[in-house]
């Protein structure tokens, strides 16, 4: 009798969780979980100085965490000082430095780079162009303001920062290998009707062009094209918490930022020195449909 009562109580206690799960599956159309195997190489980036634009949240923050685990001195940028402070508290490592810097402000580019150089106490070895903003307003409703805002960060800012950093590397002429990692999007490989996607075509094209142009200088440029990643940029999927289900994707799930970060670390490392001008699509098959 006691055993039966215990079973009934246990079942009654599990009802709220059961109801929550049913609601979650109903709301999102299905249920998927994800297990990530974190690749940890030791200190594969030891001695490197890595500058990550937009490192206070999402994919950039995940990349920063992994850079530090792999021994790199890392500077993250972003516009919000609060978000940078939160990132600093979360990572809590002397290898991390933060810099409030809006990459869309071209006249402030040299000053920003000088500050980053001071924080590193030396040269940048790896530039990760990750900062980005999104807006889904599409043709025929795009206004000039939307266009300009999107391009200022995602394309123009990225171009001029890369030019400033690589220009200095080209002038130095030494045997040191330097790297640029550009974060594009799977949207940079499919038809585009809105500025966000068009900027991501820019980034993939620039990666290819600079890959060829800079390889003779020992500067290796590659990129990553993420699919749907659960970050602030994808609020619906970020809010799903433990349910990463996504009907749009052949894998039936979105990815977590760590899955992009692992790929970024590989591309930054000397293990990827013969990959040039490629944008690696990491989208669970989304763009193949």
Is the separation of the CB atoms in 110 and 164 below 8 Å?
yes
196 flagged as catalytic:
yes
Sequence-ordered list of residues with C-beta below 8 angstroms from that of 60, at least 6 positions apart, any chain = 52, 53, 54, 76, 78, 128, 130, 131
d(CA 215, CA 42): 27
Nearest residue to 70 (alpha-carbon basis) of 123, 130, 112, 125: 125
Binding mask 96-115 for ligand NAP (x = CB under 6 A): ------xxx-----------
Q: Minimum distance from CB of 42 to ligand NAP (Å)?
A: 26
189 DSSP 8-state letter: G
| 149 sits near ligand NAP (criterion: CB under 6 A) | no
- From the list 35-43, 49-57, 164-172, 173-181, the region that binds ligand NAP by CB under 6 A is 49-57
Binding mask 4-43 for ligand NAP (x = CB under 6 A): ----------------------------------------
Is the separation of the CB atoms in 70 and 93 below 8 Å?
no
Size of the site for ligand NAP (CB under 6 A): 31
What residues are paired with 46 via a beta bridge?
Answer: none
Is the separation of the CB atoms in 66 and 261 below 8 Å?
yes
| 229 sits near ligand NAP (criterion: CB under 6 A) | yes
Q: Minimum distance from CB of 127 to ligand NAP (Å)?
A: 13
Q: Given candidates 208, 234, 278, 287, which one binds ligand NAP under the rule CB under 6 A?
A: 234
- From the list 25-33, 125-133, 163-171, 265-273, the region that binds ligand NAP by CB under 6 A is 125-133
Count H helices and E strands in the chain, helices first.
9, 7
Q: Which is the catalytic residue, given 26, 196, 217, 245?
A: 196
Binding mask 168-197 for ligand NAP (x = CB under 6 A): ---------------x-x------------
Whose Cβ is closer to ligand NAP: residue 73's or residue 155's?
Answer: 155
Is the separation of the CB atoms in 54 and 130 below 8 Å?
yes
What residues are paired with 74 via a beta bridge?
Answer: 50, 96
What residues are paired with 226 via a beta bridge?
Answer: 282
User: Which of the residues are catalytic?
Assistant: 196
Binding footprint of ligand NAP on the chain (CB under 6 A): 53-60, 77-80, 83, 102-104, 130-134, 153, 183, 185, 226, 228-229, 231-234
């Amino acid at each position: 009798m006691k055993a039966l009562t215990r079973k009934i109580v246990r079942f009654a206690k599990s009802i709220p969780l059961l109801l929550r799960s049913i609601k979650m599956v109903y709301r999102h159309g299905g249920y998927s979980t994800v297990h990530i195997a974190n690749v940890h190489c030791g200190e594969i980036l030891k001695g490197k100085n890595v500058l990550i634009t937009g490192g206070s949240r999402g994919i950039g923050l995940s990349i920063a965490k992994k850079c530090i685990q792999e021994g790199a001195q890392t500077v993250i940028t972003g516009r919000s000082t609060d978000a940078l402070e939160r990132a600093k508290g979360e990572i809590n490592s002397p290898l991390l430095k933060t810099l409030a810097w809006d990459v869309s402000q071209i006249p402030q580019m040299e000053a920003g780079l000088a500050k980053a150089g001071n924080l590193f106490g030396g040269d940048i070895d790896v530039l990760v162009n990750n900062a980005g903003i999104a807006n889904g307003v599409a043709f025929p409703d795009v206004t000039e303001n939307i266009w300009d805002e999107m391009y200022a960060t995602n394309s123009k800012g990225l171009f001029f920062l890369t030019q400033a950093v690589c220009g200095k590397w080209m002038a130095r002429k030494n045997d040191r290998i330097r790297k640029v990692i550009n974060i594009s999007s799977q949207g940079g490989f499919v038809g585009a009707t809105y500025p966000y996607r068009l900027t991501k075509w820019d980034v993939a094209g620039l990666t290819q062009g600079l890959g060829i142009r800079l390889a003779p200088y020992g500067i290796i440029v590659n990129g990553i094209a993420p699919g749907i990643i659960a970050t602030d940029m994808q609020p619906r999927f970020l809010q799903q918490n433990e349910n990463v289900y996504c009907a749009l994707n052949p894998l039936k799930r979105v990815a977590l930022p760590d899955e992009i970060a692992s790929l970024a670390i590989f591309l930054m490392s000397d293990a990827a020195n013969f990959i040039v001008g490629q944008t690696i699509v990491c989208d669970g098959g989304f763009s193949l449909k």
